[in-house]
Chain A
């Protein structure tokens, strides 16, 4: 484990220390440029007209008045977009149906959620643009909305997308069947993982828990709304400045939407005010490009908070059913899991990773998981920190808590008795490589928090654990040696959680430099080699690997220069802690900084470079976390106070422990918000009623105690620095941990998120035997 004082860490000089981040000063002084800060001479401001209906046919759109409005330079609608074929494309970690993405960016003949774009305007000011939006006449034929997976899966449910046919789903589910029902459906996809003998497994159980769970749609809650500034040059070249987690994603997807060559587009990633997965796709970029092309001027669009909540991708609400059995001594004999994820308006929920991660922490011989991707009249979901896993973990980890109680076991002991190890098959089948699940559970079990006694009325302690993958994917890095011995590290990885500092630290470690001698640069799509999205917990792991390799490439070249100066062979040169030395005596050691000034006379500049496709590394970089939460419940109001919360997470190797702890605390905080308060509230017409942060209630610092982070380091054997991805798994366990704590506080099992005061109070009153009227009044 890294030294807590941030001095040094085992054999490493820099890895494991806690230097000040390179971009910190610019950010705290307001000098850093975020997307909305960009401005251009002659720039126009764009605004988007959005559907007020959750489900409607667009009968007509008349933009004539808007076009004639003074100050308006361009108006676009769906008619201005090319028809994009429905191709499934791999874009970084995303698998995107380009047809549906295009329809999400701008509606054509149908709107499918409150906030769906139907037109956009570019004008001399955003106020003029807003006036013009008022002048656009859209005639709708309103259709009944379908708001939940449960409703959408009913045979008589209104259908969102007529091309989705049950035969297609049946074919995928049962591809050998030549015939199948061929009806319209809202179920876009289904997967199943199955092994063992379910009947025998449940027969062997002494206890069986069977429950149904519901979770609400929740948003990532990044501070900075989406924005995009496009400059369509006279020669057809396009530059886009935007807030994104993946500049190469923006380039590929925008080119696809507009049938352009990727080479015609340069994407400059601005500083990013949070993303958590929500900025791995596009919304405004194609609109800005078309408006710029139409007007001949730079065009910038920035969303309001209301637009962010109504029309960008939150994560899925779910309906889930769990049946799990265990022997008296706490061995799980069988588990059957049914998951339905709301995709929003178009297919593509995290139904697959939800199924692939749930119960991944446990060795279960008899297992059946079915998971469904269901379209509903809500915004198309986007990735959100460990997409799919938090919901399914909420269900399974609360069911496990019930099993532990029935078995009379400590809930952590039950987890340890069934824990996955190296070689345990994952739910989808492949065996785990070296993992640190047991270590995270033991870290919580041995923590001062868990060992402490919790006293007081209406107080309870809950635990839960979680599993998530690490992405690998493609990254590029360049390490430039400057004549003063300083170094710049250039990557295409947008800095969300301390990327710059981590990349600089890796380079400094290899090059034997002080971390402040290394300047990390986040480059645009023309200045960096291809680099996939900042997401999937992959940057420290995969881009870090590219930087590591690039720095070693630079060292190799520098050794050749030293050999030339000393008239020796490169293999006679040693390099340690930033100093070159010859194996044979006779020359004084030469620091890298001294050599740097002599590069011009030894062959010219030195630039190390490397690219990686780190899929294989990612596969063994699985991440696990365990959480312990203490709560106090007010039985008169249903309000839950978090008294104490701890998280232990296997991080492989913490490059910068402070940022690793920050990721752990961040995920835990978001998970607590998801557990207790956050939800999209729609009325019966499908209109979002809480499209603002006063009503969409995220936790603030007043709601949370100091979140304790316990860094567990089980090095990833496939990574030269032992790194695992750390950005996501921390959000997986909190909801179940809070639910389990509430149970111990007031004796009610919560099976629906969020466990907000009205919902919890209703459950408390139900348990107390109060009348249905009283319960209903509490829920209001």
Chain B
């Protein structure tokens, strides 16, 4: 099971827990499992079947580029972050 670090804004969905576990071979499956456990994640994180453009995903310290298709390892640590822009 991957560990998902829950951003402060979404902790209401997890009853205040800042870390939960979820399964799924990729980010899409992982969000489905999160939503099963804690309804509301799908709406918060997905748009038109993919990760919202305003959200970035960090998996084991690497920024994912594959959206819902980004692979997740069995022991991965996953963060959902605001997407960034530079100058």
Contact = CB atoms under 8 A, between A and B. Distances in A.
A351 to B, nearest CB: 9
Contacts of B81: 356, 428-430
Q: Summarize A's interface: helix, strand, loop or mixed.
A: loop
B5 A429 contact: yes
Interface stretch (A44-52, A132-140, A168-176, A264-272): A168-176
A391 to B, nearest CB: 13
B83 to A, nearest CB: 5
A88 B53 contact: yes
Contact of A619 (B40, B44, B63, B83): B63
Given A430-B61, A616-B63, A619-B62, A536 B10 contact: no
Contacts of B58: 429-430, 619
A538 B65 CA distance: 15
A237 interface: no
A17 to B, nearest CB: 27
A36 to B, nearest CB: 23
A51 B9 CA distance: 38
Contact of B12 (A175, A429, A619): A175
Nearest to B58: A430
B87 A192 contact: no
B87 A175 contact: no
Contacts of B40: 175-176
B36 to A, nearest CB: 16
Contacts of B24: none
A352 B18 contact: no
B79 A430 contact: yes
A88 B9 contact: no
Given A277-B86, A429-B79, A619-B58, A175 B63 contact: no
A95 B85 CA distance: 8
B73 interface: no
Given A88-B52, A613-B65, A176 B87 contact: no
Interface stretch (A108-116, A409-417, A466-474, A688-696): A466-474
A277 B85 CA distance: 9
B46 interface: no
Interface residues of A, number: 55
Give the one of B5, B62, B84 with max A CB within 10 A: B84
A353 interface: yes
A118 interface: no
Nearest to B15: A176
Contact of A469 (B7, B13, B77, B86): B86
Interface in B48-64: 52-54, 58, 61-64
Contact of A383 (B9, B63, B64, B85): B85
Interface in B9-44: 9-10, 12-13, 18, 40, 44
Interface string A602-626: 0000000000010110111000000
Contacts of A157: none
Nearest to A428: B81
A372 interface: no
Q: Which of B63, B79, B84, B86 has the most CB of A within 10 A?
A: B86
B86 A386 contact: yes
Contacts of A428: 7, 79, 81-82
Interface string A407-447: 00000000000000000000011111100000000000000
Nearest to B86: A536
A94 interface: yes
A472 B65 contact: yes
Interface of B: 5, 7-10, 12-13, 18, 40, 44, 47, 52-54, 58, 61-65, 77, 79, 81-87
10 contacts: A89-B53, A93-B86, A94-B85, A175-B44, A191-B8, A193-B7, A471-B84, A471-B86, A616-B64, A618-B63
Given A538-B86, A615-B63, A727-B87, 13 more contacts: A88-B54, A176-B13, A190-B9, A277-B87, A353-B82, A383-B86, A387-B85, A429-B5, A429-B7, A469-B86, A619-B62, A619-B63, A728-B87
**Which 9 pairs between the two chains have the least Cβ-Cβ distance?**
A277-B87, A536-B86, A176-B12, A352-B82, A90-B53, A615-B65, A619-B63, A192-B8, A383-B87
